[in-house]
């Protein structure tokens, strides 16, 4: 799967359309966010996570989506099941994100 760019306007609809989703919150100025972007794309293409929708949200431009996951630091990852927040964490470690994704299976 690819990574879909999501905004406040379509955030709820995207979560409703995908029973399992992970959202990466980032900001344009965030160096760690930029460094994690290729890892996130690679995870989105990983067969282990074929049933999970991968989404990107600019935390500065989308306050409603940011509030839905209680974003505190960036990059911030949140997993949703059936539109409901399951768990979230702020990390730049790929292993931590893989472990988070495992909680959706």
What are the residue numbers of the active site? 30, 33
- Cα torsion 54, 11, 20, 30: sign: positive
Could you give the C-alpha distances from 43 to 6, 40, 78, 86, 96, in angstroms and in order?
18, 5, 15, 19, 12
104 CB-near residues (< 8 Å, 6+ apart)? 20, 22, 52, 79, 81, 86
């Amino acid at each position: 799967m690819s990574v879909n760019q999501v905004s406040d306007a379509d955030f709820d609809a995207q979560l409703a359309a995908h029973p399992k989703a992970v959202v990466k919150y980032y900001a344009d100025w965030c160096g760690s966010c930029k460094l994690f972007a290729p890892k996130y794309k690679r995870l989105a293409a990983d067969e282990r996570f074929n049933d999970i929708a991968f989404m990107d949200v600019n935390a500065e431009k989308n306050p409603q989506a940011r509030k839905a996951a209680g974003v505190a630091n960036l990059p911030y990852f949140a997993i949703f099941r059936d539109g409901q927040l399951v768990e979230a964490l702020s990390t730049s470690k790929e292993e931590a994100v893989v472990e988070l994704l495992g909680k959706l299976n």
